[in-house]
Amino acid sequence: MSVSEETGDYLIAPDPLRPGLTRRLEGTDHTGAPVTASVVEERPLTIFLNSREIVTAMTIGDYPEYLALGFLRNQGMLGDMADVTAVDHDEETGTVVVRTASRTSYEEKLEKKTRTSGCAVGTVFGDMMEGIEGLRLPRAELRTSWLYALAHKINRTPSLYLEAGAIHGTVLCRRDRPLVYMEDVGRHNAVDKIAGWMLAQGERAEDKILYTTGRLTSEMVIKTAQMGIPVLASRSGFTAWGVEIARQVGLTLIGRMRGRRFLCLSGEERLVRDADPGAVPEEDSRHRRKGAQG
């Protein structure tokens, strides 16, 4: 499937008013005055691969099927959708079961676990570098005008972050158009939902940009590389290992992207500087702290 170019709207966008994603709670502010605050919900979701329990993730609960598919895909436990026979979500028990026609390699993957720096305790199974050794991402062009246009639209999109905070966002983009915008309490969950959507839809990766509000860590870089996406951009900063891996696989890494400013620490050769930074307006104060929790 290819993305339709007929509309400039998101294919999937946040729905901050969707029932069950937030709760109104009573409290007091710094002066002692009573207040009512909108607070993000989180709940456990247990992912099964066939009859084997793989992981329990804390999530806001939307798009559980995409989260399960993307998690298994990014951990190397799932190939393409051709082998998937069913994806069953049971809201009452908080489970998703992904069923495949053939046996998978999850037994070996479960023998070794590495806890990563992801919010909500991200877990990566097996060797974190497995699957990216020798990988080189495809050539792609990245225009700075696209980056500025994406930041402008994404930062003004109604979201759970603007409604309640305590959330991370990840957006799949093509050129200057954001396509699929996922949010969750952990940035790894948000990117796994994107990966699950791409897997389910058969969406190509070589012409995409991944935008995140979270830190550019080794985990985020590895996930992006495994998905085959050549560009990863963020409002937040970098880790040294994340930059090192990005350079190894040829990933363009853009961080500290605020208003007219950004920093590129890998993949500079893809950048086409076709926009005058002086013509880009400074970021509105309402959006300056977005992504600061990353």
CA-nearest of 245, 8, 251, 259 to 144 is 259
Domain 142-287 classification at class level: alpha beta
Antiparallel, parallel or unpaired: β 209-212 and 177-184: unpaired
- Residue 2: band (very low, low, confident or very high) from pLDDT cuts 50, 70, 90: very low
Write out 144-186 in H/E/C secondary structure: HHHHHHHHHHHCCCCCHHHHHCCCEEEEEEECCEEEEEEEECC
| DSSP string of 63-132, one letter each residue | SHHHHHHHHHHHTTS---GGGEEEEEEETTTTEEEEEESS--SHHHHHT-EEE-S-TTT-EEES-TTTTT
Alpha-carbon 162 to chain mean position: 17
Handedness of CA 68, 72, 73, 77 (dihedral sign): negative
Measuring CA to CA, how many Å separate 266 from each of 45, 53, 176, 198? 35, 37, 20, 25
Report the amino acid identity of residue 18.
R
Fold equal for 43-125 and 142-287:
no
- Residue 103: band (very low, low, confident or very high) from pLDDT cuts 50, 70, 90: confident
What is the per-residue pLDDT across 146-167, written as a single tens digit (0 to 9) for each? 999 999 999 999 999 888 888 9
Residue 93 in tokens: 């028990």
Burial (CB count within 10 angstroms: exposed 0-12, middle 13-18, buried 19+), residue 194: buried
Q: Alpha helix locations (H) across 167-258?
A: 187-201, 218-227, 240-249
Among the listed ranges 4-13, 102-111, 114-123, 242-251, which one has the minimum average pLDDT value? 114-123
Q: CA torsion, points 174, 175, 181, 186, in degrees to nearest 10?
A: 100
Fold for domain 43-125?
Ubiquitin-like (UB roll) (3.10.20)
Ordered by start, the domain boundaries in the chain are 43-125, 142-287
Residue recorded with tokens 């935008």: 211
Q: Is the pLDDT of residue 59 over 80?
A: yes
In Å, the largest CA–CA distance within the chain is: 61
Residue 217 pLDDT: 94
Q: Is the pLDDT of residue 293 over 70?
A: no
Q: Is the pLDDT of residue 286 over 70?
A: no
CA distance 87 to 172: 23
For residues 55 and 116, the model is more confident at 55
Among the listed ranges 30-39, 58-67, 274-283, which one has the minimum average pLDDT value? 274-283
CA distance 258 to 151: 8
pTM, two decimal places = 0.88
What is the per-residue pLDDT across 208-248, written as a single tens digit (0 to 9) for each? 999 999 899 999 999 999 999 999 999 999 999 999 999 99
In angstroms and rounded to an integer, the radius of gyration of the C-alpha atoms of the chain is 19
All residues at 6 or more sequence positions from 260 whose CB lies less than 8 Å from its CB, including other chains? 148, 277, 278, 280, 281, 282
CA distance 286 to 289: 7
HSE on the CB side for 212, CA within 13 Å?
A: 32
Residue 292 pLDDT: 39
